[in-house]
Chains A and B, each alone.
Chain A
Amino acid sequence: MNALSRLVSFFCLVSYSVFAYAVSEISISAARVEHAMGDAKDIALIVRLNQPKPTVKLHAAFKPAKANVQIKPEDWMQFDLACDLPKSLNPQSLNAVEARCINGRLKGTRVDLPFNLEINRLFNRNQLDLNAVLHLKGASFSDEAGLHAAEKLNGTLTVALKQEAQGWQWQTSLDWQTGEVFWQPFYIESGGHTVAASGTLKDDMLHVNHAHLKINRVGELDLDGVIRLSDAKLLDLNATLPKLNLSAAYPLLFKPLLGNTAFNNATIEGDAALALKMKNAELQSFALKLNHVDIVDINNKFAFYQLNANIPWSYEASNPVQLSYDHGSLLNLPLGKTQINAEVNRFSLTAPNIRLPLLDGALSLSNVSAARIRDEWYWHLSAKLEPISMSDFTTQLKLPRMLGKASAEIPLVTYSGGILTTDGSMVLHVFNGTATVTQLTMQTPLGIAPKLNAEIALRNLDLGELTRTFSFGAIEGKLDGDIKALELQNWKPVTFDAIVQSSPGKYPKKISQRAVENISALGGGGAAAAVQRSFLRFFKQFNYGKMGLSCRLRNDICEMGGVESTAQGYIIVKGSGIPAITVMGYNQTVGWSELLARVKRVTGGNSKAVIE
């Protein structure tokens, strides 16, 4: 038995009516043919020769072979073809067949390909020398999962193929006129695209000597290369794309590839040029240029305007790369005109200095080194934040407007495994004191649930300025604080051990009646009512010895404390001198959201204390 093909039942009927010693009709039919490639049944081939125009008609049902799958009736595809043949079918005229087949059709459950076929040439000197044109007329197909599919496809495919000493010579052109195609993950909504290509085929190596692709609105691509057909591997490639229209290419080509990254939801304008070279299935070099590109995230997470880039890359040599933008923004912070120069060496990038103007200052990065290892980025650098005005910073982030300047010096910032870690400290000069942020780490800052961990130390904050900023009620004095084990998720605190208290040392310590009311409102009331009821309401201002409040936040519950504990609660403000006042807190635990609501009420200008 032939290993490749098995003939189950095959009967051939050649009926010919002898008329003037000529064959007038040949009819071949087969009930069933089985082959490793697929099965066919109900085959009927009729050649009529005694008509003014000889015709050939073929009908067959066939199905591609599928291992271990039961044959369902709907798996069979029907194939029909009817062709007019040239008048005389002698061997010489076979060189130019000029067969025209109209209303050909391949139809199955997921395939419907109506087509016309013109065969202009079939043989030349007893060698196959095909020249054919296939017109698709509203074709549709889909694979079982629906991930590769087309609908209402109209187009023309020409194929020329002939055997020569060095292998098969082929030439093809495709004119995709109308119709939509989804080829996971790409969707092309309409036609207007053309391909013209030629090359040779020998063994399983397909050489493309030259191909020209024109994708409507997107750009034109010239390429040559070699594909190994047995595993569909691209071995060599030279491609040039002199002008790519990014606004058309982004939704068509890039967005589907960017998947779930931070860059998949942007609008982009401008154009790009790309040239690339592959050898032995390895990328050898590419050169990417971006010209006057504006890229804006739809959710306003980032924006870069007038982005220009010149990025040459080669596997063999290191190359200088340049990138610049006129202005932009990142997480609502405005970025100024920036020019970046770096050196790219295979999969790593280094830059001695990158200065990113930010608000009225700048973020200056030095000793930048980045590497892409196993599809993940790793980088480290030193960062210096040149003083930026807190007033601008807080306004941009829609925070209560603060005065002062923020500056920072971080000797080492590393990014590894999606986590940004800092070594060193950021010092913010705010409220005439300092806020020092240390051990800052961030996870997926541009993702859906960004996470931030840090420790913050506050020293000598001017309470006068602080209380004015947050319209809290005037307090005179200085404040120290320590926020340890701080964790923010989605920029909201979930964990911290915080304590704020008056700074050590001698300085005027005064607290207004309104501040007393507000503080007691935070602590859960008590003293405010006492103030209102007692003679103390005649005083607008009191002296205090020390004040402080602590909150240990866990599971949305804040465990509260003050400067001292008492049997009933804790002391928030301890009075001293005349007139003196002591504010007590009684609630040991407060829901975090409730506490935030209280803060909002008191800073929102509502001086009415909440008495519980």
Chain B
Amino acid sequence: MKRMLFSLLLIGAMFASQMVVAAADLEVNTPAISAIKGSMQSRHTQLAPHYASGAVGLTKDGMVAVRDANAVPLKDRASLNGVVTAENADRAKLYKEIATANGHPEWQAEIQSTFASRWIDKAQGGWWVQGAGGWTQK
């Protein structure tokens, strides 16, 4: 009986955590969110060739990271770091703003992990993505 109760609780908890994400409106829009998305969109043209060359990969926590700077000419490496730092600052802000716009700032971590798998699903063939076992090429 006790065991059954525990299982029920566990299932309940799993559903509850699923429901949090299900209930969050990831497409919610506010001026802050559209400003961040706009900034990320205009940066994408800079990042896309780095995704393709493998210099930058998509991390499992919804961020981007310099994977192998050797793929980039020396003169572009400083800007590579800059563009990755700026992208991650925007991404962190985006997750926070989406959670806030949903009226649940505490959902930020789960929104971030949902986005992480979304970005990885949407990644183009040849891009590097981070899984539980490390970097893999899609």
Query: Counting CB contacts under 8 A, is B29 at the interface?
Result: yes
Size bin of chain B's contact surface: 20 to 34
Residues B85 and A489 in contact, CB atoms below 8 Å apart = no
* Residues 67-91 of B contacting A (Cβ, < 8 Å): 68-72, 74-75, 77-78, 81-82, 85-86, 89-90
Which one of A110, A449, A556 contacts B93 once the chains associate, using CB atoms below 8 Å?
A449
Interface string of A486-498 (1 = CB under 8 A from B): 0011111110000
Q: B3-11, B32-40, B109-117: which one contacts chain A? A: B32-40
Which one of A142, A150, A264, A490 contacts B70 once the chains associate, using CB atoms below 8 Å?
A142
Question: What separation, in Å, do the CA atoms of A492 and B39 have in the docked complex?
Answer: 16
CB distance from B118 to the nearest CB of A (A): 21
Question: What separation, in Å, do the CA atoms of A451 and B32 have in the docked complex?
Answer: 8
Question: What separation, in Å, do the CA atoms of A556 and B28 have in the docked complex?
Answer: 10
Q: A182-B78, A490-B35 are in contact. Are A556 and B69 (CB under 8 A)?
A: no
CB distance from A190 to the nearest CB of B (A): 10
Question: What separation, in Å, do the CA atoms of A185 and B84 have in the docked complex?
Answer: 13
Residues B35 and A145 in contact, CB atoms below 8 Å apart = no
Residues A259 and B82 in contact, CB atoms below 8 Å apart = yes
Query: Counting CB contacts under 8 A, is B52 at the interface?
Result: no
Question: What separation, in Å, do the CA atoms of A184 and B82 have in the docked complex?
Answer: 11
Residues B86 and A182 in contact, CB atoms below 8 Å apart = no
Interface string of A168-203 (1 = CB under 8 A from B): 000000000000111011110100000000000000
Question: What separation, in Å, do the CA atoms of A493 and B70 have in the docked complex?
Answer: 45
Residues A181 and B32 in contact, CB atoms below 8 Å apart = no
Query: Counting CB contacts under 8 A, is B66 at the interface?
Result: yes
Residues A181 and B74 in contact, CB atoms below 8 Å apart = yes
Query: Counting CB contacts under 8 A, is A151 at the interface?
Result: yes
Q: A145-B69, A182-B77, A184-B81 are in contact. Are A260 and B86 (CB under 8 A)?
A: yes
- Residue on A with the closest CB to B29? A556
Which one of A184, A186, A259, A490 contacts B32 once the chains associate, using CB atoms below 8 Å?
A490
> For residue A189, which residues in chain B have a CB less than 8 angstroms away from its CB?
75
Residues B31 and A256 in contact, CB atoms below 8 Å apart = no
> For residue B89, which residues in chain A have a CB less than 8 angstroms away from its CB?
260
Residues B36 and A145 in contact, CB atoms below 8 Å apart = no
Query: Counting CB contacts under 8 A, is B30 at the interface?
Result: yes
> For residue B86, which residues in chain A have a CB less than 8 angstroms away from its CB?
260
Residues A449 and B36 in contact, CB atoms below 8 Å apart = yes
Residues A187 and B77 in contact, CB atoms below 8 Å apart = yes
> For residue A260, which residues in chain B have a CB less than 8 angstroms away from its CB?
82, 85-86, 89
Q: A489-B31, A490-B32 are in contact. Are A448 and B90 (CB under 8 A)?
A: yes
Which one of B36, B68, B78 contacts A186 once the chains associate, using CB atoms below 8 Å?
B78
Residues A449 and B35 in contact, CB atoms below 8 Å apart = yes
Most-contacted residue by chain A among B28, B32, B74, B82 (CB, 10 A): B74
Query: Counting CB contacts under 8 A, is A89 at the interface?
Result: no
Query: Counting CB contacts under 8 A, is A311 at the interface?
Result: no
Residues A187 and B90 in contact, CB atoms below 8 Å apart = no
Residues B72 and A492 in contact, CB atoms below 8 Å apart = no
Query: Counting CB contacts under 8 A, is A13 at the interface?
Result: no
Residues A146 and B68 in contact, CB atoms below 8 Å apart = yes
Question: What separation, in Å, do the CA atoms of A151 and B90 have in the docked complex?
Answer: 33
The total of interchain contacts (Cβ-Cβ below 8 angstroms) comes to: 81
CB distance from A70 to the nearest CB of B (A): 16
Question: What separation, in Å, do the CA atoms of A475 and B70 have in the docked complex?
Answer: 68
> For residue A149, which residues in chain B have a CB less than 8 angstroms away from its CB?
69-70, 74, 77
> For residue A255, which residues in chain B have a CB less than 8 angstroms away from its CB?
78
Question: What separation, in Å, do the CA atoms of A68 and B26 have in the docked complex?
Answer: 44
Q: A448-B93, A489-B30, A494-B31 are in contact. Are A145 and B66 (CB under 8 A)?
A: yes
> For residue A180, which residues in chain B have a CB less than 8 angstroms away from its CB?
74-75
> For residue B28, which residues in chain A have a CB less than 8 angstroms away from its CB?
555
Query: Counting CB contacts under 8 A, is A147 at the interface?
Result: yes
> For residue A451, which residues in chain B have a CB less than 8 angstroms away from its CB?
32
Residues A264 and B82 in contact, CB atoms below 8 Å apart = yes
Which one of A185, A186, A448 contacts B35 once the chains associate, using CB atoms below 8 Å?
A448
* Residues 143-172 of A contacting B (Cβ, < 8 Å): 145-147, 149-151
* Residues 1-55 of B contacting A (Cβ, < 8 Å): 28-36, 39
- Residue on B with the closest CB to A186? B78
Residues B78 and A256 in contact, CB atoms below 8 Å apart = yes
Question: What separation, in Å, do the CA atoms of A451 and B93 have in the docked complex?
Answer: 12
Residues B74 and A185 in contact, CB atoms below 8 Å apart = no
Question: What separation, in Å, do the CA atoms of A488 and B32 have in the docked complex?
Answer: 9
Residues B32 and A187 in contact, CB atoms below 8 Å apart = no
* Residues 480-517 of A contacting B (Cβ, < 8 Å): 488-494
> For residue A185, which residues in chain B have a CB less than 8 angstroms away from its CB?
78, 81
> For residue B82, which residues in chain A have a CB less than 8 angstroms away from its CB?
256, 259-260, 264
> For residue B66, which residues in chain A have a CB less than 8 angstroms away from its CB?
145, 147
Residues B74 and A489 in contact, CB atoms below 8 Å apart = no
Residues A449 and B75 in contact, CB atoms below 8 Å apart = no
Question: What separation, in Å, do the CA atoms of A110 and B70 have in the docked complex?
Answer: 10
Residues A448 and B39 in contact, CB atoms below 8 Å apart = yes
> For residue A187, which residues in chain B have a CB less than 8 angstroms away from its CB?
74-75, 77-78
> For residue A448, which residues in chain B have a CB less than 8 angstroms away from its CB?
35-36, 39, 90, 93
CB distance from A265 to the nearest CB of B (A): 10
Question: What separation, in Å, do the CA atoms of A180 and B72 have in the docked complex?
Answer: 14
> For residue B30, which residues in chain A have a CB less than 8 angstroms away from its CB?
489, 494, 556
> For residue A181, which residues in chain B have a CB less than 8 angstroms away from its CB?
74
> For residue A151, which residues in chain B have a CB less than 8 angstroms away from its CB?
74
Question: What separation, in Å, do the CA atoms of A150 and B75 have in the docked complex?
Answer: 10
Interface string of A260-286 (1 = CB under 8 A from B): 100010000000000000000000000
Q: A186-B78, A187-B77, A449-B97 are in contact. Are A489 and B72 (CB under 8 A)?
A: no
Residue contacts A-B, CB under 8 angstroms, 26 given: A145-B70, A146-B72, A147-B66, A147-B69, A149-B77, A180-B75, A182-B75, A182-B78, A185-B78, A185-B81, A186-B78, A187-B74, A187-B75, A187-B77, A189-B75, A264-B82, A448-B35, A448-B36, A448-B93, A449-B32, A449-B93, A489-B31, A489-B35, A489-B97, A490-B31, A493-B31
**Residue ranges of A at the interface with B (Cβ–Cβ < 8 Å):** 110, 142, 145-147, 149-151, 180-182, 184-187, 189, 255-256, 259-260, 264, 448-449, 451, 488-494, 555-556
Known contacts A256-B78, A260-B82, A489-B32; can you find 15 more A-B pairs with CB under 8 A? A146-B68, A146-B70, A146-B77, A149-B77, A180-B74, A182-B78, A185-B78, A189-B75, A255-B78, A260-B89, A448-B35, A448-B36, A449-B32, A490-B34, A494-B32
